[in-house]
Amino acid sequence: MSNRRLTNHIVVITGASGGIGREMAMLAASQGALPILIARSLDKLKEAQRVIKEHYQIEADVHSLDISDLDAIQDVFTAILKKHGHIDVLINNAGFGIFDYFTDATLKDIKSMFDVNVVGLMACTRMAVPHMIERRSGHIINIASIAGKLATPKSTVYSASKHAVLGFTNGLRMELEDQGVQVTAVNPGPIRTNFFHIADPEGGYTASVNRFMIEPEHVASKVIAAIGTKKREINLPWTMSTGSRLYQLFPRLVEAIAGGLFKMK
């Protein structure tokens, strides 16, 4: 018998036009949820909407949105809440990275990463949380990164943005723990998606970490399974998670032993 545990749940997913965002939307729909898909590409959103309708007989809602546009975020979430009444789950998945040495990074790129990865994520959360508190029910899931725990050369700015996401997520979790709202951080390592078309256009890093890459379907399954639970963090894969924990305990030793691996970009 199919798993319909998310029947009638309103699940908002940013960055839903591809990669793990699209996979999470499909999996949520397969479990009976109504996915609300947000991304910049309306064409890709409509294609995901069509597939969901065809496979699961659910009419997903789609909204074209640039997560760096704070006014547009307010407009879109206001429209969602007016139409659907509430949000059960917000998965903040939208984000991007540009791998470059800090001295070569442009201020425009630095600002863009923080505008999307941090400020935009916070703005989306700010629109959803008050209504969740009012209902004493809801789940915020923030897609951060192992890079937020273990920074490496050429991911300096990206890692800083994801470190900010983790700090925000941990603080928010404690603020909301008595309000009936769950907060989960997801920290994946490299995922086999189009993320690296922007982050690593020359393909050197992608080739060097290919054996460590995880499939988007695997990440999506872990995230959707966590909905409605008190899961604090999801760290994938276990090898990189273990490495980040060791780094927090023994940073100098880990840098000495694994410094070459860190510089594979």
Active-site positions? Answer: 158
Going across the sheet that includes 233-236, the strands are 61-64, 34-39, 10-14, 89-92, 138-143, 181-188, 233-236
Question: Rounded to whole angstroms, how far apart are CA atoms 39 and 63?
Answer: 7
Q: What is the DSSP letter of 232?
A: -
Which tokens belong to 261? 């691996």
Rounded-to-10 torsion of CA 192, 196, 201, 203: -40
Residue 189 DSSP class: -
Nearest by Cα to 142 from 171, 113, 103, 112? 171
CA distance 265 to 81: 42
**How far are the Cα atoms of 145, 157, 187, 205, 260 from residue 254, in angstroms, in the given order?**
19, 21, 19, 20, 11
Which parts of 145-229 fold into alpha helices (H)?
Answer: 156-176, 195-199, 204-208, 216-226
